[in-house]
Chains A and B, each alone.
Chain A
Amino acid sequence: MTDKNWPLYEVFIRSKSGLSHRHAGSVHAADDQMALDHARDVYTRRSEGVSIWVVRSSEIVASDPEDSSALFEPAADKIYRHPTFYEIPDGVENL
């Protein structure tokens, strides 16, 4: 008998309303509905969530760690993008 792998889904949980969904782990499932059911059983046994997203792992487009210097390092020398870059004299308020 062929025992083909069920596809892998990544699971994202919103722990309470007002917060964003956050990656929790992954589950295998035959289809979308089963992925939700499994995610519920595996990742929310103790009220860890009020909402679940599942998405097929193969559908996620991710950046490559090898590109990370090209992608993220240019931000490091643009310190003027942060408010702490600016010197405000004593006595100036509400700024």
Chain B
Amino acid sequence: MYTQGLDQQGNKGEDPEAVESAELLAAFQARIDAEAKIEAKDWMPEAYRKTLVRQISQHAHSEIIGMQPEGNWLTRAPNLRRKAILLAKVQDEAGHGLYLYSAGETLGTSRDQMVAELLRGKAKYSSIFNYPTLTWADIGAIGWLVDSAAIMNQIPLCRCSYGPYARAMVRICKEESFHQRQGFEIMLFLSRGNDAQKEMAQDALNRWWWPSLMMFGPGDENSKHSAQSMAWKIKRFSNDELRQKFVDVTVPQAEFLGLRIPDDDLEIDEKTGHYNFGEIDWQEFYDVLAGNGACNRQRLAMRQKAHDDGSWVREAARAYATKHAAKKAA
């Protein structure tokens, strides 16, 4: 994936959508239908490019912002083993963000542009990271629930029609599995601990369960981008399908832990083998998305501060590189 094409899009001086003839669009769709991968320099409809830039940058921002709720517990991890593991996990999240920005840049939008959109509050990131991590058990619940939900979403993306995104997802999915297991292990230790520890685990599950279900996005009847993304094979399963799958695999895990899922309507449907679950509070989802979750402002302010605090480092590195390049040339 070579990205010399950065920023070129704006310079063509013509409306790219105007030159999208019916033949070109049909040929593109035929390639997608034949399961061919689209690569960075291949022709693609502008709407396909825009959809991918939006999705990949949101995904990258989620990884980067996602470092904050967990970073909150780095200095207070209960022991050195847990601390080393959490440090490795947070470092992975940074790595995932970078793989994804790298994939996003192949579409002609620079990382700086994507980051600027985040800092301006224009680009979205996953609503889940606007919830606070109040206790150590939250670190367990995030790994177990949030990373499981992320894996459900991401495994199908490994087969997404856009090559650079699919390849980044393969790498990410390999690493997510460690995240999920370390989270489950934390929950396992707490749920086998004393009463206070069990209570802490249950409390974390109570707070993270519903937001985790919301991670799959609105129900299929309200999902505005879904149909086109499915046709382009960016998306392979609907939001509701993935949510159901998540509930089906997670409920038995909660039972193993001896924890109760906070949903009075939860019951297995003997006929289908799937779990029926209660109504999701979508108002909460839209409120958090609109910027009114518990931590939205804090997350963006911290990202902005990190960006500003790093600016002298970026500047110094550039000055050093320029000086040495000049010395070499002399």
Residues of B within 8 A of A46 (CB): 175
- Whether B6 pairs with A8 at a CB distance below 8 angstroms is yes
B321 sits at the interface (CB 8 A): yes
Q: Which of A43-64 contact B (CB under 8 A)?
A: 45-46, 57-58, 60, 62, 64
A14 to chain B, nearest CB (A): 16
Count A interface residues, CB 8 Å. Answer: 26
- Whether B41 pairs with A26 at a CB distance below 8 angstroms is no
- Whether A6 pairs with B102 at a CB distance below 8 angstroms is no
A58 to chain B, nearest CB (A): 6
Given the known interface contacts A25-B102, A27-B102, the answer about A1 and B318 at a Cβ–Cβ threshold of 8 Å is no
Total residue contacts A-B, CB cutoff 8 A: 68
Q: Which of B90-98, B129-137, B231-239, B281-289 contacts A (4 or more CB under 8 A)?
A: B90-98
Q: Which of A12-50 contact B (CB under 8 A)?
A: 23, 25-28, 30-31, 34, 41-42, 45-46
Q: How many angstroms between the C-alpha atoms of A35 and B33 in the bound complex?
A: 38
B9 to chain A, nearest CB (A): 16
Tell me the nearest residue of chain A to B313, going by C-beta.
A30
B17 sits at the interface (CB 8 A): no
Q: How many angstroms between the C-alpha atoms of A42 and B41 in the bound complex?
A: 24
A84 sits at the interface (CB 8 A): no
Q: Which of B69-114 contact A (CB under 8 A)?
A: 88, 91-92, 95, 98-99, 102-103, 105, 110-112
User: Can you show 21 pairs from A to B with CB atoms below 8 A apart?
Assistant: A3-B112, A3-B311, A3-B314, A3-B315, A5-B111, A6-B314, A6-B317, A10-B2, A25-B99, A25-B102, A26-B102, A27-B102, A28-B111, A31-B321, A34-B317, A34-B321, A45-B95, A57-B2, A57-B3, A57-B4, A65-B42
Q: A4-B318, A58-B4 are in contact. List 17 more A-B contacts (CB 8 A).
A: A3-B311, A5-B110, A6-B314, A6-B318, A8-B6, A10-B1, A25-B99, A25-B103, A25-B167, A25-B168, A28-B111, A30-B318, A30-B320, A34-B317, A34-B321, A41-B95, A65-B42
